Structure formats: structure tokens, C-alpha cells
A and B are shown apart, each in its own frame.
Chain A
Amino acid sequence: MSADFLYLVEVILNGLMAGVMYSLVALGFVLIFKASGIFNYAQGVMALFAALTLVGIQTGQVPFAHLINAIFGTNVHHFGWQVPTVLAIALTVGVMVLFAIIVERYILHHLVNQEPIILFMATIGLAYFMEGFGDIMWGSQIKTMDVGLPSGGSLWLEEYTQGWAAEGERYYGMYLDKLDMVASLVAIVLVVSLTIFSQYTTTGRALRAVADDHQAALSVGISLRTIWVIVWSIAGFVALVAGIMWGAKSGVQFSLSLIALKALPVLMLGGFTSIPGAIIGGLIIGVGEKLFEYAIGPLIGGATENWFAYVLALMFLVFRPQGLFGEKIIERV
């Protein structure tokens, strides 16, 4: 095999794994959209907030330290203890559930029956609110996420593939990030368990019922409010997983919330209502933008990753507005 070909394979594999990361965020969108018809723009910020909270709890930060110091002139920052990773994750999940309850009670509850576009804008407001809130609670400096995930390239793979290139070519083996591989595994586990949950449990059935028809679900005694809290909690959990992965990859920082924007074209490709769609859409975007940057990027100045996903999704939409796997939109007169 030629080194060029192997390099291409590497680009594709890396694209697939980047795609998995997008899918993790897109997944949260799909869950909420399916159950409540709300396009939750805050999903990315939820990932950031979850990651901030996890790191904060783990390293024993004093919440709102910055604010307390500003008001009382004190200088508190850490409690001085370390919380074990598993406990910290459990506590963060608790925080996300609390968050879901608050969102339901103080926002969604008051916006029932509003137009989707109003709800969408409300989630933009929510995103801004959480961004400021997260920063005030945990501080805005970049933090490192250390939950014991492996990182760096896989040496084993590099050595193993080194011999694949044709004789005489300089090839140092394939570079794949171990973290990306773990993320892929986690994503697979997550999707499988979500599917099992929604297909085989009573709550899952109730979720699907609500997704189909709110009023019909209400009429058979399903509590919409409970379901929404559950859905937002699950979405919060998914956000935590995404936050951990992204945080471990590039540090817990503000730009994390922008990955939400990258998840949007993924959704447009995969459709807003399909979990497999979110995964496959993510993979297509991941591979597509890496390949485009690899093949065409150098010719037109690079950094095409900034817009490639959106333009691809845009062109795709014009021809298939419901996405790859979304339900067909039938307009009745």
C-alpha cells in the first residue's frame, strides 16, 4: 500500500471519530426534539456547564468563589479536597437532573403551546443564561478535564501499521487518538442503551407516546411534566458525556459551547427526530469536512472546516428537506 493511501485512510478514520464527537452533542438535541418538539439550542452550553460542574466538584472548587470574593472581599477558591471521579460524576448527574427540573418548572411550563420558534428562542436565552451562570459559578479560566481517560496517540497502532507502507517510502504509522477511540466506544454504548431504554421500558414507551402526540399521551394518563423532566435529565446526562469527551480532548472552556453549532448541520443531515440519523449525520460531517480540508482545503486557503458542514447541510437540505432519516414532512392543506 502506498503511503498516500494510508494517509487517506487515516484522514477518514480521524474524520469518523470527529464525527462521533459531533454525534454525541447531536444526540442530546434529538432526544429533546423528539419528546417535546423543542429545538434545544442550549444543548452545547449544557455540555459546557456539565463539564465545568464535574471539574469543579472533582477539584473541590468553591462555587461562586469569584462572586463571593467580589462582594465580601474574601479570597476563597478551593475547599482543599479532591472528590473521587465516580462520586463527582454522580453528583454532576444530580446537578443536571436538578437543572432539568428547574428548566421544566420555570421555563417550559410557562411556554406550553407556544410556537416552536418562540421555544427555540427561549432556549437561546437559556444558553446565554447558563453560560454566564456557569462562568460565575466555576470561573471562566480554561480547566483540564482529568477523569482517567487515556489520551495521546496509540503507539501500538502506529507500530503495527508502520510496515503497511510500500518498501522504501517514509511512513511512520497511523496516528489515532486513544481518546477518540474511547469516545467512539462510549457513543456506541450510549446509543445502544438509549435504544433499549426507549424500546423496552415503560418510561421509554411513555416517551415515545409523548413524542407522537402530546394530547393523546395526556389523555392516557402520562404526565407531560414528568416526561419533560426525564427527557431533559437524559439530555443533561448525554451533555455530560459529551462534555467529558470534549473537555478531555480540548480543555473545558467557553468554545465548548460552540460545538452546539457544529451539531446543527449534523441534525440537518440526519433529521431532527432520528437517533441513528444523528450518529450517521455526525459521521458524514466528520469525514466530509476532514476529506474536504485534506483534498481541497489547501487550494482555497484552508480552514474550510469552519463552514463546510453548514454548506454541505444547506445543499443537502434543498434536495431533501427532512434529512436522511427524518420523517417525511407532509404538508396538508
Chain B
Amino acid sequence: MTEPLQKMEAASKLLELKNIDLSFGGVKAISNISFDVMEGEVRAIIGPNGAGKSSMLNVINGFYHPQQGEIWFDGKQRRSMKPYQIAYQGISRTFQNIALFKGMSVLDNIMTGRFTHMRKNMLWQALWKGPAEQEEIENREFVEDIIDFLEIQAIRKTPVGRLPYGLQKRVELGRALAAQPKMLLLDEPMAGMNVEEKEDMCRFILDVNDTFGTTIVLIEHDMGVVMDIADRVVVLDYGRKIGDGTPDVVRNDQTVIDAYLGVSH
């Protein structure tokens, strides 16, 4: 585990969260959490249920607006933004419960991921022939590469509603990838999968990270997976950060062990 450390030292910070506070009404979901994500690393967020992991992702991609704290992305402090503006900044994500467009085919779902890269306005699209079609075909080529990469060629015209769970998860990953994000947020990408599907998904995540150099932030409950693929891990509990570091460091941290195994009183 020395290699990732070296990788990090050379890289710069892509995302930095400083003293984030988030509460709903009177309930505190996140209190005073700070951590950073280096460019090109795989960063995992772990913690027991209700620790504030998903809220953290929602803060990063703009669904929730923290009451306090600063978010720095790509070297600039980020003002309060709507999720669709954040998509244009280069952050995309998948959801814990699959959030695909049920009425559309696999191809259309992934093509939708190209939204931020398509520019032709409504009039060109109304005419279709010419620039709009040209743009469509260029983006289709990109999408076909992703389809090849994820090995889902055979189902590209199938409506996503008909696909089994594991494949749907893969399509959702494809849609997020189609946006060519700088940073990819994965909310429990392996939840509910069997061992083989998990292995496939791990391979895709690592491949994405390797091939495109995409920075990845993921939430996962399977400790084996996290320890295997993450470069660094943040541990949350009750909305607080209780650990941060490489998998080895975190694994041997007493506070983390207590949080997971409980403390005898």
C-alpha cells in the first residue's frame, strides 16, 4: 500500500470540505466535518447506518446546502449551487437506490449522461438534419465506447426497467461516466450484489480510475471491498468524523473499532 501514497503526494487536492455543518430542522446530520479528496484517488466514506454518509454526498453534489463550512472544488471556493450547475463543473454520481430513467432504453439513458457536452439549441434540434444530427452521432460514438467498456452491448436497446438489478447498477455507472466527470460519487455501488457482481463492479471502478484518471468517492458497507480498492478512507459516526487515513491506519484505529463493534460500558 505504498504506491497509492506516492500517487497522492504528487497530486493536488480536487475537493476540500472545511468544517461542514448540516442540520434538518433541529436534527444535526453532519457536524463540523472536514476532509479532502486528492485528484485521481479512490476515497471511501464508511460508517454505520445513519452516520451521515449519504448526506455528505448530497452536500458535495448540491442537493443539500450546509449551514456552515466551505467547499473547495478544483482550486476554487464553491458558491451555493444547484445540482445541475454542479454537473457542469464535472461531478456526477450514482444513487443508493437506482435512479435510472425507467421509460428509456439503456442507450438513451447513457446518452442523457452526455447532456452537459451537447450544445446545439432547440432550432437545430427541430431541424435535426445537419449540426444536431452530427453532434448526436459524435456523442453516440463516445457512448458506444462506454457501452463496450461496461460490456453491455447486447442490451443497449432494452428498456432499463426490464433489466436485472446488477445490470441496472452498471447502466447507472455508465450514465455517470458518460458525463466524463472529474469526480465520480458512488453511493453504495455494490449494495445487494452477489460476490461475482461485486467483483465485476470493483473491476469497473478500478478501471475507470486507472483509464480515465477519474477521482472516485464511494460509500460502501462491504469492508473487504473498501479495504481493497480505496486509497484513503474517511470514517463517520453520528455525523462526526472519527477516522481518516489509509485503510491500514483506519483498520487499527481504536475509535473506529469501538464505533463498529460497540464499547462495553
Contact = CB atoms under 8 A, between A and B. Distances in A.
Instruction: Check whether chain A touches chain B (CB < 8 angstroms).
Output: yes
Contacts of B64: 333
Interface string A260-298: 000000000000000000000000000000000000000
Specify the main secondary structure of chain B where it touches its partner: loop
B75 to A, nearest CB: 27
Contacts of A333: 54, 58, 63-64, 95
A51 B100 CA distance: 47
Interface in B41-75: 54, 58, 63-64
Interface in A274-333: 333
A333 B54 CA distance: 9
Nearest to B58: A333
B66 to A, nearest CB: 14
B45 to A, nearest CB: 16
Contacts of B63: 333
A333 B95 CA distance: 9
Nearest to B187: A333
Interface size class, chain B: under 10
A124 B28 CA distance: 45
Contacts, number: 5
A259 to B, nearest CB: 36
A333 B96 CA distance: 9
A322 to B, nearest CB: 15
Interface string B93-119: 001000000000000000000000000
A333 B83 CA distance: 12
Interface string A33-61: 00000000000000000000000000000
B238 to A, nearest CB: 20
Nearest to B95: A333
A333 B59 CA distance: 11
Contacts of B54: 333
A333 B24 CA distance: 14
A137 to B, nearest CB: 40
A3 B63 CA distance: 57
A333 B53 CA distance: 13
A333 B94 CA distance: 11
A115 to B, nearest CB: 10
B259 to A, nearest CB: 25
Nearest to B99: A333
A137 B63 CA distance: 55
B252 to A, nearest CB: 34
A333 B63 CA distance: 8
A333 B57 CA distance: 10
A312 B33 CA distance: 45
Interface in B162-187: none
Interface in B233-259: none
A113 B58 CA distance: 29
A198 B58 CA distance: 40
A333 B64 CA distance: 9
Contacts of B58: 333
B143 to A, nearest CB: 26
Nearest to A333: B63
Contacts of B95: 333
A8 to B, nearest CB: 42
A84 to B, nearest CB: 56
B191 to A, nearest CB: 16
A333 B187 CA distance: 11
Nearest to B63: A333
Nearest to B24: A330
Interface in A169-210: none
Nearest to A330: B24
Nearest to B64: A333
Interface string A59-97: 000000000000000000000000000000000000000
Nearest to A331: B63
A302 B45 CA distance: 63
A89 to B, nearest CB: 47
A333 B97 CA distance: 9
A114 to B, nearest CB: 13
A133 B95 CA distance: 48
Nearest to B61: A333
A51 B230 CA distance: 70
Nearest to B83: A333
A276 B52 CA distance: 37
A289 to B, nearest CB: 36
A333 B58 CA distance: 8
5 contacts: A333-B54, A333-B58, A333-B63, A333-B64, A333-B95
Return the 5 tightest CB-CB contacts between A and B, nearest first: A333-B63, A333-B58, A333-B54, A333-B95, A333-B64
